Every structure is written in structure tokens, then in C-alpha cells.
Amino acid sequence: MHSVEVNRAAIGLVRKPHGIRGGLKVTLYSIDLDRLQNMEQLFVNTGNNWRTLTLKSAQGYDDFSILHFQEISNRSEADEYRDLEIFAPRELLPELDDDEFYIDDLVGCEVLNEKQEIVGKISEILTPGAHEVLVVQNGEEELLVPLVDEWVTEIDIPARQVWINSPEETT
């Protein structure tokens, strides 16, 4: 039996369990609730493997959503998903304009400063609150760059490059 690789895009981050019946409190990235409710299968990468989850219900609030899945029936099972990203098949997501991208498309992009010096590569995206933060790795060194206009000046997904201001340029 052959496994087929699915092209996935991150659509949200599980914050914590919600209620006793296995609900998940999720911060959605750039997907609207109507489109999400029409998706049956979503995915979570546990670090060891991909889990397929079947969406049972989705309710939206101001800055988060509550999702229920058939595979999660209680709070302790829901707690296993804390701080994990939820992915959807990319073909089910809307087409993007040329100046738009999915947040996880940034992982692996080369980061350059205003002097055209290579700063490193984006290894992950953190979502601590008000905005995403790029984790830029250069060997053992790690730089955290807020994903805001003051810091990030250009994003070129086809070229796999992100241009940033150096810390001294933003003060």
C-alpha cells in the first residue's frame, strides 16, 4: 500500500481544550469559518506522524473558534492537541492573489537584510498573540523577527526570500 503525500497548509493553531466533550479552542489564520465548515478532513502533525481529524462542528467568536472532531471525545484527549497547528488540504483553500501567501509558506525562506546580507532561514512561525513571529536560524544563532511592516519589508514566495530591516534600522 502506497502512501500519498497531501499538500497541506496551516489554517490555525490549537490554543487549549474547550469544555469536557473534547472541543478545541483554535486561533484561525487566514480562513473564514464558512469555508472551514465545508471541510470534512483536517490534519494535525504530532511531530511523529500526521493525524487525520473529521470535523464535526465549528463555531466562531471574535478572535477564536471552537472546533469539535469525531476523533476527540473528552478534555484529556483534546489536551494532546494543545499548541499544535491544524492543516487543510491546499486544494480546498481559496486561490491567493500575487501579494498573498499562506503563513507556513514562509518556512524555509531565506532571510536577507537591507544590505543584501543573508541573515538565515525561517525555521518556524510562532503565534504568541498580536502577530506572528518569524524564527530565523543561522547555524546555532536564532533571531526572532515580528511579522509586521516595520520589520519585514518584502516577501517573495516564488523566490523563497524574505527581506527584513536590521534591528538597528527599526529603532
Q: Is residue 45 helix, strand or coil?
A: strand
Same domain, 78 and 111: no
Domain harbouring 41, CATH code: 2.40.30.60
pLDDT for 124 = 85
Same structural domain, 23 and 84: yes
* Separation of alpha carbons 52 and 33, rounded Å: 19
What pLDDT sits at residue 3? 39
Residues 12 and 38 in one domain: yes
**pLDDT of the residue at 154:** 93
What is the number of H-type helices and E-type strands within the chain? Answer: 2, 12
Q: Are residues 80 and 112 in the same domain?
A: no
Same domain, yes or no: 114 and 75: no
What is the chain's pLDDT, residue by residue, as a tens digit (171 residues)? 333 455 888 888 899 999 999 999 998 887 888 888 889 999 998 888 899 999 999 998 877 899 999 999 999 999 999 999 999 998 888 787 777 787 778 989 999 999 999 999 999 888 777 788 999 999 999 999 999 999 999 999 889 999 999 866 544
Question: 124 and 156, same structural domain?
Answer: yes
Task: Please say which residue of 92, 119, 138 terminates a domain.
Answer: 92
Helix, strand, or coil (residue 34): helix
What pLDDT was estimated at residue 171?
46
CB count in 10 Å sphere of residue 134: 24
Q: What is the pLDDT of residue 103?
A: 78
Residues 84 and 116 in one domain: no
What's residue 157's pLDDT?
87
Domain span including residue 49 = 8-92
> Which three three-digit cell numbers place residue 104?
507556513
pTM value is 0.70
Looking at the structure of the chain, the number of domains it has is 2
Q: Give the CATH number, domain containing residue 109.
A: 2.30.30.240
160 in a structural domain? yes
The pLDDT score that the predictor gives to residue 6 is 59
pLDDT the model gives residue 1: 36
